[in-house]
Amino acid sequence: MIISASYRTDIPAFYGRWFENRFRAGYAKVVNPYGRQVSTVPLRTGVDGFVFWTRNAAPFRPALELVRAAGIPFVVTYTITDYPRALESSVIPAERALADMRALAAEYGARSVVWRYDPVVFSTLTPPEFHRANFARLADGLAGAVDEVVISFAGLYKKTARNMDVAARAHGFDWGDGSDGDKRGLAAELAGLAAARGMRLSVCSQPEYAAAGTSPASCVDARRLEDVAAGWGVLRGLKAKVKGNRPGCLCHESRDIGDYDTCPHGCAYCYAVNSRGLAKTRFAVHDPEGEFLFPPPWAEAAEKTLL
């Protein structure tokens, strides 16, 4: 079993202590966001690897050391976009993130870190020429440290469009979707910039934007986890099957232990946060000693009834 932690929130940046506690306990309780079912997910026995998703892995170093000491391979998928603050108000400076990524690659191996330039947002603050220059500068900072960069173009979910509209009104910019041709053209240009710096560019769950020099992404990648383990001197064959979360997704099967509306980074384009106010409130009341990242209200009521 591969554990994803988490494409629903940034566990490494904000919930590292909780993860350490749950890893030592050997399990976490997780609520299915669509059916409300509660399940117990193992975090040690039967776990083949972890994929951690983050914009700031620095607070998570103790947790990574625990996982490494247990001999379980992991991959850190590290998002660095360095967009204007109107789009991402609270992420750490790109220079700090780049230095952290290089340090992780040096300590755990280049295959243990993947750069995400994701999502690509079209706006008057971030037109195609911005992306070309911005991507090249960030890629320069990671050349020789990572071998893959993953991109996707921002999805226009209702909540994403609403939050982008709010940010646009507050900060005085316009935004849009961009044509399929624009997206394929930019993907090809970014792929060339990545290749010149020793990186493969892959496109996440959007085969319609595949272009010359790109490949489809497998963000939860059993083969990469095997490579990480081999680099640590551990022979570990993963039998995970490809089971994506949406059409076009080539991820291997995994269990996610995160929760939506819990990341307080404040990125206007985020698909995982409906309300930043709610995310900040939930973060403030988070219990790092709990079995759940955030217990559902009916679970709390059930516990009180039992008492």
Nearest to 213 by CA among 242, 193, 233: 193
Average pLDDT of the residues in 178-194: 96
- Chain mean pLDDT for the chain: 93
- Residue 149, pLDDT > 50, answer yes
What integer is the mean pLDDT of 162-185?
A: 95
Name the residue with higher pLDDT: 61 or 234.
61
Predicted pLDDT of residue 207: 94
| Per-residue pLDDT at 304 exceeds 80 | no
- Tell the burial category of 128 from Cβ atoms under 10 Å away from its Cβ (0-12, 13-18, 19+): middle
What is the reported pLDDT for 42? Answer: 97
Compute the average pLDDT of residues 271-292.
93
For residue 181, name the pLDDT band (cuts at 50, 70, 90). very high
User: For residue 239, is pLDDT > 90?
Assistant: no
Q: Where are the domains of the chain?
A: 2-306
For the segment 77-94, the average pLDDT, to the nearest whole number, is 97
Predicted pLDDT of residue 244: 78
Q: Tens of pLDDT along 216-233?
A: 999 999 999 999 999 999
- Give the range among 16-20, 65-69, 210-214 with minimum mean pLDDT: 210-214
pLDDT category of residue 305 using cuts at 50, 70 and 90:
very low
Torsion angle of the four alpha carbons 24, 9, 4, 249, in this order, in degrees rounded to the nearest 10: 180
Res. 299 pLDDT band, cuts 50 70 90: low
Percent of the chain exceeding pLDDT 90 equals 86
Structure confidence at residue 297 (pLDDT) = 74
* Better-predicted residue by pLDDT, 302 or 33: 33
- Read off the pLDDT of each residue in 233-259 and give the average, rounded to a whole number: 88
Q: Among the listed ranges 19-28, 128-137, 269-278, 298-307, which one has the minimum average pLDDT value?
A: 298-307
Angular region, 235: left φ>0, alpha ψ -120 to 50, beta rest:
beta
pLDDT classification of 137: cutoffs 50, 70, 90: very high
- What pLDDT is attached to residue 298? 60
Query: What average pLDDT does this structure show over 247-251?
Result: 89
Residue 212: predicted pLDDT:
92
Mean pLDDT over residues 120-124, rounded?
97
pLDDT at 157: 84
